[in-house]
């Protein structure tokens, strides 16, 4: 799926290339289009780069859509 982030946001995301296991940290996602996939554990993964990904539950994702922060472009 493809989504559009309508305004630049700081979101908790994982930096997979990080050498430490600090977990989720706020990272900047600029306004624009991003690929998103459904993970095997039922979360929605928004991909900024191959190393930076943000994870949302369905309720968190639906809330972002209702606030107008995310728009689904292609399912």
Domain boundaries, the chain: 2-69
pLDDT tens, position by position, 27-56:
889 999 999 999 999 999 999 988 889 999
Please, which residues have CB within 8 angstroms of residue 35's CB and are 6 or more apart in sequence? Answer: 1, 2, 46, 47
Angle, CA of 72, 74 and 75, to the nearest 5°: 90
At residue 23 the predicted structure's pLDDT band, cuts being 50, 70 and 90, is low
At residue 19 the predicted structure's pLDDT band, cuts being 50, 70 and 90, is very low
pTM for this predicted structure: 0.81
Query: Over 80: is that where the pLDDT of 8 sits?
Result: yes
At residue 16 the predicted structure's pLDDT band, cuts being 50, 70 and 90, is low
C-alpha 16/C-alpha 45 separation (Å) is 13
């Amino acid at each position: 799926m493809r989504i559009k982030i309508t305004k630049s946001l700081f979101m908790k995301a994982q930096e997979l290339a990080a050498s430490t296991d600090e977990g989720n940290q706020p990272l900047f996602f600029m306004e624009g289009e991003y690929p998103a996939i459904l993970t095997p554990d039922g979360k929605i993964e928004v991909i900024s780069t191959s190393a930076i990904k943000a994870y949302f539950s369905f309720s968190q994702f639906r809330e972002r859509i209702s606030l107008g922060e995310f728009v689904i472009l292609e399912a």
